[in-house]
């Protein structure tokens, strides 16, 4: 059984999940009290979606989903790596601010990979580019790369870029830094229903779809570890000091899972019961639904070298690593028994080396990771108010 306090290393990097999660639960409790305003406008809040990756509502005959997500401190990694690479003449550093295209892509992926978890497909996305100074944009190559990466991610997701906001926040952000975030609106394709965990049942299969590295979670920890390495972000991942550097590997653009979910939702051979984006909290996210069910994993994807390097240098044991980082599992697809093989095939057609990893069982709410001998108990993940505080599709 894993120690409930597995996040001490991340806490030292300035991220305390216990405090953040308590704040989220308090905010959701207040949010529930406002659902009647949507009802007054002729809509209906699906309050069971509170605490899920996206909020779901019904309006004018459509089922819509809405989400807001941020990149966190990964934009600082991009700046710090490019500065280090310029000073150290690293061979794997792109010229002209290229990593800012990558982190823009990462931001869109962070937003839309959350949106699709409720069984919605994206319609429109707005951008939030906050800088410490408007002078940030005077580097034309860097600013152009940012816009190119954002546009490319929207094209890959078949999502319109609607607009956004770009405040200059002197005193709140450093003049050399940019904070990236986005909000998106999506729709649940009719006649389907949103995936909120209520359909999960013992016997359902769990398919894990790989990540390709850090994605958008763990940057604060990575920056702290880089500060402890003699060569910092330029440190090679391999013991023989050859090959890709720590910084370049951290900044590899995230996988975008929208097309996979689009195909799954349109495939009559697959019945989905839940979807989970594996980001903060790592594989604890496998038990995001507040259901008394056990999620047993008998196979895990390979750990990307950059995450293995990060976990080892941070001193994370398996329980801490798999509850902090994605450790190679970027997305989880839950489906009815016998459907997992088809999910794996569709994912591999898209170049995602998915695997049929486990199943849902009767039992207490927990995650059992058999390959690493780790069990996560229910009280280690509480992102939403207690179920009795929610009222499904109440109209008030």
Could you read off the pLDDT of 99-146 as tens digits, one per residue? Answer: 999 999 999 999 999 999 999 999 999 999 999 999 999 999 999 999
Report CA torsion sign: 152, 158, 162, 167: negative
In which band, very low, low, confident or very high, does the pLDDT at 347 lie, cut at 50, 70 and 90?
very high
pTM: 0.90
pLDDT at 394: 33
Q: Is residue 358 a contact partner of residue 299, using CB atoms and an 8 Å limit?
A: yes
Q: Which pLDDT tens digit goes with each residue over 153-180?
A: 999 999 999 999 999 999 999 889 999 9
C-alpha–C-alpha distance, residues 378 and 39, integer Å: 33
Distance in Å from the first CA to the final CA of the chain: 42
pLDDT at 36: 85
């Amino acid at each position: 059984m894993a120690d409930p306090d597995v996040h001490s290393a991340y806490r030292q990097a300035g991220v305390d999940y216990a405090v953040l999660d308590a704040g989220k639960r308090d905010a959701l409790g207040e949010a529930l009290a406002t659902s009647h305003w949507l009802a007054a406008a002729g809509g209906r809040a699906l309050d069971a979606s509170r605490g899920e990756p996206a909020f779901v509502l019904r309006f004018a005959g459509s089922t819509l989903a809405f989400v807001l997500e941020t990149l966190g401190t990964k934009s600082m990694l991009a700046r710090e790596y490019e500065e280090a690479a310029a000073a150290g003449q690293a061979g794997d550093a792109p010229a002209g601010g290229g990593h800012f295209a990558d982190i823009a892509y990462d931001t869109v992926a962070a937003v839309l990979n959350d949106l699709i978890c409720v069984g919605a497909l994206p319609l429109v996305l707005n951008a939030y580019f906050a800088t410490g100074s408007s002078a940030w944009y005077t580097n034309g190559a860097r600013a152009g790369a940012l816009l190119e990466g954002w546009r490319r991610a929207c094209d890959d997701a078949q999502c319109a870029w609607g607009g956004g906001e770009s405040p200059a926040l002197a005193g709140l952000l450093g003049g050399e830094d940019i904070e990236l975030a986005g909000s998106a609106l999506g729709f649940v394709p009719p006649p389907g229903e949103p995936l909120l965990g209520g359909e999960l049942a013992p016997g359902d299969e769990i398919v894990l779809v790989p990540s390709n590295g850090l994605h958008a979670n763990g940057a604060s920890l990575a920056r702290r570890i880089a500060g402890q390495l003699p060569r910092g972000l330029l440190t090679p991942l391999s013991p023989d000091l050859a090959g890709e550097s720590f910084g370049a590997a951290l900044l590899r653009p995230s996988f975008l899972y929208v097309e996979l979910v689009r195909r799954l939702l349109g495939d009559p051979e697959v019945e989905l019961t839940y979807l989970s984006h594996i980001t903060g909290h790592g594989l604890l996210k496998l038990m995001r639904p507040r259901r008394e069910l056990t999620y047993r994993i008998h196979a895990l994807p390979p750990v990307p070298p950059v995450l293995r390097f990060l976990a080892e240098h941070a001193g994370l044991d398996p329980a801490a690593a798999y509850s902090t980082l994605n450790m190679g599992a970027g997305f989880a697809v839950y489906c009815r028994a016998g459907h997992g093989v088809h999910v794996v095939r569709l994912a591999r057609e898209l170049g995602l080396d998915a695997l049929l990893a486990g199943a849902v069982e009767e039992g207490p709410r927990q995650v059992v990771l058999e390959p690493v001998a780790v069990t996560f108990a229910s009280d280690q993940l509480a992102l939403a108010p207690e179920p009795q505080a929610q009222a499904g599709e109440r109209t008030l």
